[in-house]
Structure 1
Amino acid sequence: MSAFLVERPPTSRFRAFRRHPVVRFLVTRVLAGLGTLVIVSFVIYAATRALPGDAVEIILGRNATPELVAELRSRLGLDQSLLEGWWNWFTAALAGDLGVSTAALAQGNTVYVADQIAGPLTNSLILAVTTLVILIPLCLALGTWMGLRAGRLGDRVASQTMLVLGSLPEFVLGTFLIAIFFAWLHVLPPLAMVGPAGPLADPSALILPILTLLGVLVAFVARQIRAGVIESLRQEYVTMARLSGIREGRVVRAYALRNSLAPGVQAIAQSMQYLVGGIIVVEALFAYPGIGQTLVNAISLRDIALVQAIALILAATYIIINILADLLVMLLVPTLRTAGR
């Protein structure tokens, strides 16, 4: 029998792999993401070039002699056309060269932007990842609990509480938490004083920023999971599982919760996208030395190269989160994987 078996040619296996819906989806989304990044990078570069006033003269101040202005404009590529300057900057950024700090050049120093943002970017990643590590299990547990008790007193109280929290801006909620934990209880510092060892050396600096971010995000994510659980519990397969004698806990875990994860994943992805921008407000409020605080300082100093680099990193992060979230939803929902076959 084995003599009649013909091994599938490698090219056929590669063709089948290439035609797989998940592979096609991923390739399409990655290409679309790259195209979006190209467009966004041009908008970032053009916007910084279109700032009112001569940025070089503003940075140099009283030292703005014609020779220094011409030299700095040349080093920043401002003497090039818009398209030429953008292309040189973007291709260099893709190769890992984010340029040199404009403000440092005005002082006669050479400070590479990559070195300048390494520390703040690490601090922001620690804050964002810690928030997500707490957010995901908390919202899964809370959203499932609310969905199983939909319409009851506990669900109504939790829904109204989260609605209030979700409607508060970050700076309002953060200020309220400072008033409680610093001015009233005297247990936490009002500012995130991070030493050279980083925020993990003194976790108390992370508590208020994390609580502020969680207060804004939990309301949205938990309510999405709650809605998904309620919708799943109404499906016929859940009713059949219950009639078959399967225990309620297993029905919730294996049927209701798993099938409600798709909207939950999308909500978590939107929360991660919020962290890309919302973390800037929280870092500024608590003086947390992250990428958001660095961006605020760079804008005030008119540090063009630093602003461009941070904006490009935030845009790329936003695009990557979108792609990963869509891919995870497709893997969780079988009908999306089989579509187009």
Structure 2
Amino acid sequence: MIFLATNALPGNVAETVLGRNATPELVAKLNHQLHLDEPVLTRYGNWLIGTVRGDLGESAVAVVQGNPESSVTSLIGIPLRNSVVLALISIVCLIPISLLLGTFAAVRAGRAGDYAVSYISLVIGALPEFVFGTLLIAIFFSGLGLFPPVSLIPPGTSPLADVGELVLPVLTLLGVSVAFCARQVRAGVLDTLSERYVTMARLSGISEVRVLWRYALRNALAPSVQTFAQALQYLFGGIIVVETLFAYPGIGQALVQAVTLRDVSSVLAVTFVLAGVYIAINVLADVIVVLAVPKLRTGLR
């Protein structure tokens, strides 16, 4: 579907990259060099066969520009690394913050702390990424002058070389994710706290902290893990908007540029990677649920 949609866009990569120099003869020559003059199904079949062999093809833009390194795999390697760094930092912050806020709201259900967490997360979760990110720029850059509004990472430099440039992108990704996950954790813990085995544990004299962490929270992990899986999938999807907003040189920005330049091979490679990430997250979430919830492990025996 991505292949057909990209090919349905008006114009092609030769005309887009050449610009004013796109004479009919030169465009025809480049189309032949890039196999763009072949039928769509033939080109898709060649790409599919190459993908099975581990070859994601060549970047049409790199070929047109005369870049000696035109392999899509090598060209998306650095942007993919940058995106993974941004996503991992967000994930490391997301899980403990969501668990703490959700558990805090559940334990104080119906009180001021619960209302504060619930309403604030509802408001933040309703904001699109670019709106929330723009608000953060207005507060932390225009107002306080603390963090830069863009994340310009020089080629060959690690994203961790200047952590300050990652603060606003990470906060933008965390805003919507934490708001969603904290509310789901609250609902799961609140339901578990009303179960009979929790009541029996309390009557047996077990401390409230142990009841909460060993009995309530652990058995509330099943729906929470699936929620975190959805949030992680959002991180890799929403990262496209965030990277574009902050000019972060990651895979999201590479995808936007590839679509703009009609670079079909690069678009397919990036979407192929994102699809693989989605599948891996779902499988990992199912495994974690089985390992974390005792009654599910018992049911497998």
Q: What TM-score do you get using the length of structure 1 for normalisation?
A: 0.81
Please say which of residues 203-212 and 244-253 is displaced more in the overlay: 244-253
Contact 2:6 2:262 in 1 (8 A): no
Question: For the residues of structure 1 that align with 2:189 and 2:7, how far apart are their CA atoms?
Answer: 49
Residues 145-164 of structure 1: pairs in structure 2 closer than 5 A = 145-164=104-123
Secondary structure of the corresponding residue to residue 239 of structure 1: helix
Task: Check if 1:87 corresponds to 2:16.
Answer: no
Matched to 2:262, the amino acid is R
Residues 244-255 of structure 1: pairs in structure 2 closer than 5 A = 244-255=204-215
Alpha carbons of 1:228 and 1:88: their partners in 2 closer, same or farther (altered >3 Å)?
A: same
Question: For the residues of structure 1 that align with 2:143 and 2:98, how far apart are their CA atoms?
Answer: 29
Shift of 1:202: 0.4
Select which of 122, 135, 149 maps to 2:81. 122
Question: For the residues of structure 2 that align with 1:165 and 1:339, how far apart are their CA atoms?
Answer: 39
Question: For the residues of structure 1 that align with 2:280 and 2:49, how far apart are their CA atoms?
Answer: 19
Per-residue CA deviations over 1:302-341 (Å, capped at 9, x if unaligned) read: 2222122112211221122122222322333455456587
Question: For the residues of structure 1 that align with 2:211 and 2:35, how far apart are their CA atoms?
Answer: 62
Q: 2:244 maps to which residue? A: 284
Shift of 1:136: 0.4
Matched to 1:92, the amino acid is G
Contact 2:87 2:235 in 1 (8 A): yes
Contact 2:16 2:261 in 1 (8 A): no
Please say which of residues 91-100 and 266-275 is displaced more in the overlay: 91-100
Please say which of residues 202-211 and 192-201 is displaced more in the overlay: 192-201
Q: 1:12 maps to which residue? A: none
Question: For the residues of structure 2 that align with 1:106 and 1:154, how far apart are their CA atoms?
Answer: 59
Q: 1:48 maps to which residue? A: 6
Residues 173-322 of structure 1: pairs in structure 2 closer than 5 A = 173-195=132-154, 196-322=156-282
Shift of 1:96: 2.6
Question: For the residues of structure 2 that align with 1:109 and 1:188, how far apart are their CA atoms?
Answer: 35
Question: For the residues of structure 1 that align with 2:295 and 2:217, how far apart are their CA atoms?
Answer: 17
Matched to 1:326, the amino acid is D
Alpha-carbon RMSD across the aligned residues, in angstroms, is 2.1
Question: For the residues of structure 2 that align with 1:333 and 1:77, how far apart are their CA atoms?
Answer: 53
Per-residue CA deviations over 1:81-112 (Å, capped at 9, x if unaligned) read: 43332222123123332222111222333422
Matched to 2:263, the amino acid is D
Any stretches of 5+ residues in structure 1 without a counterpart? 1-42
Contact 1:59 1:302 in 2 (8 A): no
Shift of 1:270: 0.5
Contact 1:221 1:268 in 2 (8 A): yes
Shift of 1:240: 0.8
Q: 2:67 maps to which residue? A: 109
Question: For the residues of structure 1 that align with 2:4 and 2:262, how far apart are their CA atoms?
Answer: 15
Contact 1:48 1:308 in 2 (8 A): no
Please say which of residues 98-107 and 228-237 is displaced more in the overlay: 98-107
Contact 1:44 1:312 in 2 (8 A): no
Q: What TM-score do you get using the length of structure 2 for normalisation?
A: 0.92
Matched to 2:229, the amino acid is A
Matched to 1:197, the amino acid is T
Shift of 1:164: 0.8
Per-residue CA deviations over 1:4-47 (Å, capped at 9, x if unaligned) read: xxxxxxxxxxxxxxxxxxxxxxxxxxxxxxxxxxxxxxx12222
Q: 2:126 maps to which residue? A: 167
Shift of 1:120: 0.8
Shift of 1:55: 4.3
Select which of 328, 332, 336 maps to 2:288. 328
Number of matched residues?
299
Shift of 1:266: 0.8
Select which of 64, 79, 103 maps to 1:144. 103
Question: For the residues of structure 2 that align with 1:98 and 1:89, how far apart are their CA atoms?
Answer: 7
Secondary structure of the corresponding residue to residue 147 of structure 1: helix
